[in-house]
Amino acid sequence: MTIFESYLNNRENDARMSIPLPGSWGIEYSQDKALYNYGTYYPYCILLGDIAKQYLHEQDNPFSSNSRVLTVASSGIDNLLIFLVHTNGFSQQLEETKFFDNILINYFYKLDGRKFSTSRNHAIWVDKISSKVSIDILRLYLLLNNSDETEGNFSLKEFVQFHNELIQDLHGFHWGNSSYNHRDIETYKRQLDLLLSPESFDGKSYAKICVEIIKRNKISSHEDSEINRFVKIIKPAMPSISEKIEKGIALNLMAIEEKDLHHETI
């Protein structure tokens, strides 16, 4: 209660509460101490749930024990324990609510073998990435090199090579006789449903399927149905490129260099 009173006294008559983390970083309760508070996260989710149910036209809040909506949380491995203790504990104390249905865990992700650091400018600033970089291909690379199961690493040199090779494959993609057939695509679609579901999510395996399809460089026919099947497979990772393929619009993808990612290190 003393901590909460300290927080209230420092709000300068502001009637609002900053959620999920009150204050600039946690709740200050002395001159040199603050409490990092995960306890507000679950109430924040319930608040958003009340708003979401209106858009989803659902009768219940997604966090209601009666809800048919699946909820998914993402947490870094370093914060997983405190997340589970605070958030799950809070949910169990409330009546007629449920915890998240699924939790996606992320391990540490490095840049060229070193920890991302904003203070040393050892980072890639998203708002400064060159327009030449295909965000779809960047998303696909991140899926291939994710940190879902172990520590990951973003290699600038490797990404540039991956990006430039894939745009050649996409520009050279053509429709005609190939080793692909209808059954191949249907098999991939069934795998897609499994790999992208929250219960068995595996972004790396899904991304490998996308790369395999693109690099095989042909598909069995130019029929709309065949193109649509192909597009549905790559669309979750590459929505912009998929839309252009569907509409028959030129991709106009460009080769890049490391400097196009605006990476500087102090």
CB 240 within 8 A of CB 196: no
Are β-strands 27-28 and 34-35 bridged in parallel, bridged antiparallel, or unpaired?
Answer: antiparallel
Pick 8 or 160 by higher pLDDT.
160
- Residue 57 — pLDDT band, cuts 50, 70, 90? confident
pLDDT digits (tens, 9 = 90+) for 19-56: 344 445 555 656 666 555 566 778 878 888 888 888 77
Is residue 129 packed enough to be buried (19+ CB in 10 Å), middle (13-18) or exposed (0-12)? middle
Domains of the chain: 2-35 (no CATH), 41-106 (no CATH), 109-261 (1.10.730)
What is the reported pTM? 0.67
- Residue 181 — pLDDT band, cuts 50, 70, 90? low
Pick 160 or 29 by higher pLDDT.
160
- Residue 206 — pLDDT band, cuts 50, 70, 90? very high
pLDDT digits (tens, 9 = 90+) for 228-244: 777 888 999 999 999 98
CB 28 within 8 A of CB 10: yes
- Going through the chain in order, the beta strands assigned E by DSSP cover 27-28, 34-35, 72-76, 102-106, 109-111, 114-115, 152-154, 174-175, 218-219
pLDDT at 224: 57
